[in-house]
Amino acid sequence: MQKMLTIISNVLRGSASRNGTRVVVSARTYADFTPQATFDIKKCDLHRLEEGPPQQAVLTREEGLQYYRTMQTMRRMELKADQLYKQKIIRGFCHLYDGQSLTDSSQEACAVGIEAGINLTDHLITAYRAHGYTLTRGGTVREILAELTGRRGGIAKGKGGSMHMYTKNFYGGNGIVGAQVPLGAGVALACKYQEKNELCVCLYGDGAANQGQIFETYNMASLWKLPCIFICENNKYGMGTSVERAAASTDYYKRGDFIPGLRVDGMDVLCVREATKFAAEHCRSGKGPILMELQTYRYHGHSMSDPGISYRTREEIQEVRSKSDPISMLKDRMLNNNMASVEELKEIDVEVRKEIEDAAQFATTDPEPPLDDLCNHLFYNDPPIEVRGTNPWTKLKSVS
Amino acid sequence: MASLRCFLRSGRNAVSVILRREFHKTSPAALQVTVRDALNQAMDEELERDERVFLLGEEVAQYDGAYKVSRGLWKKYGDKRIIDTPITEMGFAGIAVGAAMAGLRPICEFMTFNFSMQAIDQVINSAAKTYYMSAGLQPVPIVFRGPNGASAGVAAQHSQCFAAWYGHCPGLKVISPWSAEDAKGLLKSAIRDDNPVVVLENELMYGVPFEMSEEAQSKDFTIPIGKAKVERQGSHITLVSHSRMVGHCLDAAAVLAKEGIECEVINLRTIRPMDIDTIEASVMKTNHLITVEGGWPQFGVGAEICARIMEGQAFNYLDAPAIRVTGVDIPMPYAKILEDHSTPQIKDIIFSVKKTLNV
């Protein structure tokens, strides 16, 4: 049956295809595709705001393909990390940004949507569930996976691991949840101080949202009108504790009190993008900070050591999983509006798969960091120093 | 060479009382500068030199500083560079670290280091460790400064010494100035350093004047971090100390000199990285060692010095065990008589020297 379909589609397409080679030319040319379409998006709940982001979003074909590719890359990358962790090639903590299989809903729309709403010259900081943001902020799959496997080709040369990845204008990857929020406000302070019209996106989860230092930050960011977008990624569970059991008020977008807030559908990349653009405009116009709550769902457990079913039912997971997957949603929108072809998207899938495989290959074969690197990077711009080893006779060298 | 001392109490609305002391270098027309003014000068000069430098903390701007260390700076530099914060240490320390990550050079003041405990996660996990965790991608050029250790009559929660706590952590530099020159030179180095530096000042020293050499008056005068200074040469015993206790050691040395005992007094200046070479060279000369600190004994600065001496070449030159003179192992009491007996007094140092030398 499968073979017959292939033959028929080849005939219809009028192109020859051999086993294994890709179909490169399709009978439809790019002129056949709709260059852009307008989509209705969910209205955001507002706090201390007269109006919110628009309820319609324009998506161009190029944007759609780019978002699709990035989200797919992120998902596949996280799945690969999942696989490597189960094989014990990745150790320690591994907090993933996706669900458990291809059809699961997850948080890719957040990372991609946010990046689409800001510039690479803006700044971003998050907590430990950071692989997705490392990618959108300029990291490559290769260096991310190699960091997870602890190799010298990793983005932090193997010294940081899953929770400590950095790129330009991306400040990690922070292990102590909540601590990244004042840090982000500090980055925003630097933006304002240096008058470069940049802003800082400062992410935290529903679990960390109850941290005292976040409220200290709300206060100072508001007092000093720092260009800071606070974003709460609410995936309804802080590790094993549901939001109802952790927060007296689960309206996270209102928790900034005097800070205006919006609650956004975090599963829809366009919704996230429009909300981010709205928030960015607010900051850049000098109005001070703004808060966004992105409603998402975490299919996976909290991390690799948590199957995620002891504190919720499989039925619950299945139900949400089938209703809203950000990648499926984007795919459907594009196909239904003739903005891309099935083959084209499949081609992207194939390319992404290859990229991930190559990256995984690198990540599993690249050598571990050399032992000489053990004591390096203690101080910046300093002459070399000596560091005590495990015993008084072992003196190790440290260079900047 | 008896020196008169009247103890000064500098509280929040400090008007300094001059403490008279003898100086080791005599220079009749030399400039007298208090530690407070030296710190003020250091910050003023660095703020002028580099526009990325700014100061934040409680009461640093309009109040001129809780201990008046930042007096006049807000008037000169304004709101952008001298920032008053609410009483939210964890928040503003984190903000300061974030600003450093994004290219500025903040000076984060803790009203006292006791309050830094609220923010210690930001100092250690966000500042100290980041350059290492990022394998050199993300430096953090920040200074945390403020008064450390015992003051006068402020009781247990306001009197702890944090030299050992911060000195414990790789990725941090920790300095502890004693004199006005120390204060100015070390603070300037700290601000110019591209790494996180903790500057442990001392409230009781703020009002103490010292002679400031002409060299030290220059706008480019810095003292290297990581180098100790021999304040007084001696041949019978080495006294190693930091901060206010250096003065106590010198006073004790003056008394002992009358009995023919010559003490070599070393001012550590930097807690981390510690200049063990200077201490070793001294011990190899004098054959006896006493460390003197205001902090608690367990796991303290003195404990580290003694351990390193044991492990190094100087051990073979010791004629007696190296010992520590420290604060008493209790929370600081309030009543004056109790407080006076909680930290090393000059007589304690003298007693320990004589015991060590077996005289």
Q: Is residue B298 part of a domain?
A: yes
How many angstroms away from the CA of B4 is the closest CA of chain A? 43
Whether B41 and B176 map to the same domain: the answer is: yes
B341 is catalytic: no
Do B210 and B238 belong to one domain?
A: no
Q: Which of B138, B191, B270 to mutate: most A Cβ within 10 Å? A: B138
Edge-to-edge order in the sheet of strand B53-57: B82-84, B53-57, B105-109, B143-147, B197-201, B173-175, B270-272
Residues B209 and B320 in one domain: no
Name which residue leads in pLDDT, B12 or B269: B269
Establish if B1 belongs to a structural domain.
no
Does B95 touch chain A if contact means CB atoms closer than 8 Å?
A: yes
ipTM confidence score: 0.89
For residue B344, the domain's CATH number is 3.40.50.920
Number of Cβ atoms within 10 Å of the Cβ of B358: 8
Closest-CA residue in chain A for B196? A379
Query: Is B158 an active-site residue?
Result: yes
Q: Does B170 touch chain A (CB under 8 A)?
A: yes
Q: Which residues pair with A396 in a beta bridge?
A: A387
Tokens of A48: 């201390």
What token pair was written down for A69?
A: 């590719």
pLDDT one-digit tens code per residue, B196-205: 999 999 999 9
Which residues, including other chains, have CB under 8 Å from residue B335's CB and lie 6 or more apart?
A: none
B73 vs A31, A77, B44, B109, B261, CA distance in Å?
Answer: 65, 52, 7, 14, 46
**Same domain, yes or no: B141 and B54:** yes
Same domain, B233 and B308: yes
Asked if residue B321 belongs to a domain, the reply is yes
Domains, chain A, ordered by start: 36-369 (3.40.50.970), 371-399 (no CATH)
Distance from CA of B94 to the nearest CA of A (A): 5
Chosen domain end from B163, B196, B217: B217
Please state the φ and ψ torsions of residue B102, each to the nearest 5 degrees. -95, 10
Distance between start and end Cα atoms, chain A: 63
pTM comes to 0.89
CATH of the domain at B123: 3.40.50.970
- B206 SS3 class: coil
Measured between beta carbons, the chain B residues lying within 8 angstroms of A188 are: 98
Same domain, B83 and B207: yes
Per-residue pLDDT reduced to its tens digit, B33-68? 999 999 999 999 999 999 999 999 999 999 999 999
Among B58, B59, B89, B181, the one annotated catalytic: B89
Q: How far apart are CA B260 and CA A297, in angstroms?
A: 79
Q: Is B19 within the bounds of a domain?
A: no
Q: Is residue B91 part of a domain?
A: yes
- Encode pLDDT of B302-312 as tens digits: 999 999 999 99
Q: Do A156 and B135 touch (CB under 8 A)?
A: yes
Whole-angstrom distance, CA of residue B246 vs CA of residue B340 = 17
A242 half-sphere exposure, CB direction, 13 A CA radius = 8
Asked if residue B233 and residue B213 are part of one domain, the reply reads no
**Partner residue opposite B104 with nearest CB, options A190, A200, A385:** A190
Per-residue burial over B196-230, b if 16 or more Cβ lie within 10 Å, else e, is: bbbbbbbbbbbbbbbbbeeebeeeebbbebbebbe
How many residue contacts between A and B have a Cβ separation below 8 Å? 151
Residues B213 and B237 in one domain: no
Residues B158 and B133 placed together within one structural domain of the fold: yes
Give CA–CA dist A399/A375, Å, rounded.
8
Peptide bond between residue B196 and the one before it cis (omega within 30 degrees of 0): no
Residue-range definition of the domain harbouring residue B42: 32-217
Q: Say yes or no for a CB contact (<8 Å) between B98 and A185.
A: yes
For residues B20 and A65, what is the distance between their CA atoms, to the nearest angstrom? 78
- Do B210 and B235 lie in one domain? The reply is no
Helix (H) or strand (E) holding A261: strand A261-265
How far are the Cα atoms of A63, A74, A274, B11, B256 from residue A339, in angstroms, in the given order? 11, 22, 20, 72, 91
Instruction: Evaluate whether residue B16 is within a structural domain.
Output: no
Claim to verify: residue B110 and residue B233 sit in the same structural domain: no
Does the distance separating the beta carbons of B125 and A175 come in below 8 Å? Answer: yes
Chain B from 131 to 150: CB within 8 A of any A CB: 131-139, 141
Of B91, B98, B104, which has the smallest distance from its Cβ to A216's Cβ? B91
CB B97 within 8 A of CB A179: no
> Per the domain annotation, does B290 fall within a domain?
yes
| Alpha-carbon distance A187 to nearest alpha carbon in chain B (angstroms) | 5
Report B:38-67 residues touching A (Cβ under 8 A).
54
Alpha-helix residue ranges (DSSP H) falling in B258-345: 276-286, 301-311, 336-340
Shortest distance, CA B313 to any CA of chain A (angstroms): 11
CB contact under 8 A, A171 and B101: yes
Mark which of B155, B189, B217 sits at the end of a domain: B217
Nearest to B102 among A172, A186, A378 (CB): A186
**Residue whose C-alpha is closest to residue B95's, from A202, A356, A107, A316:** A202
- Tell how strand B323-325 and strand B289-292 pair up: parallel
* B139 → closest Cβ in A175, A219, A380: A380
Q: At what angle do helices A342-365 and A326-336 cross, to 10 degrees?
A: 150
B311 interfaces chain A, CB cutoff of 8 Å: yes
Per-residue pLDDT of chain A (400 residues; tens, 9 = 90+): 656 655 555 555 544 444 444 444 455 566 789 999 999 999 999 999 999 999 999 999 999 999 999 999 999 999 999 999 999 999 988 888 764 332 233 679 999 999 999 999 999 999 998 999 999 999 999 999 999 999 999 999 999 999 999 999 999 989 999 999 999 999 999 999 999 999 999 999 999 999 999 999 999 999 999 999 999 999 888 888 899 999 999 999 999 999 999 999 999 999 999 999 999 999 999 999 999 999 987 666 666 677 767 777 777 766 666 667 899 999 999 999 999 999 999 999 999 999 999 999 999 999 999 999 999 999 999 999 999 999 999 999 999 9
> How does the average pLDDT of chain B come out, rounded?
93
The C-alpha of A388 sits at a distance from chain B's nearest C-alpha, in angstroms, of 11
Last residue of a domain, one of B167, B184, B217: B217
Q: Judge whether B27 lies within some domain.
A: no
CB pair distance less than 8 Å for A176 and B121: yes
- Packing angle of the helix pair B89-101, A180-194 (nearest 10 deg): 50
Domain count, chain B: 2
Measure CB to CB from residue B104 to each of A185, A193, A400 and give the nearest one.
A193
CA A21 – CA A23 distance, rounded (Å): 7
For residue B352, the model assigns a pLDDT of: 98
Q: Does any CB of chain A come closer than 8 Å to the CB of residue B286?
A: no
Question: B177 with B50, same domain?
Answer: yes
Those residues with Cβ within 8 angstroms of residue A76's Cβ, 6 or more apart along the chain or in another chain: A352, A353, A356
B214/A95 Cα distance (integer angstroms): 58
How many angstroms separate the CA atoms of B142 and A43, rounded?
43
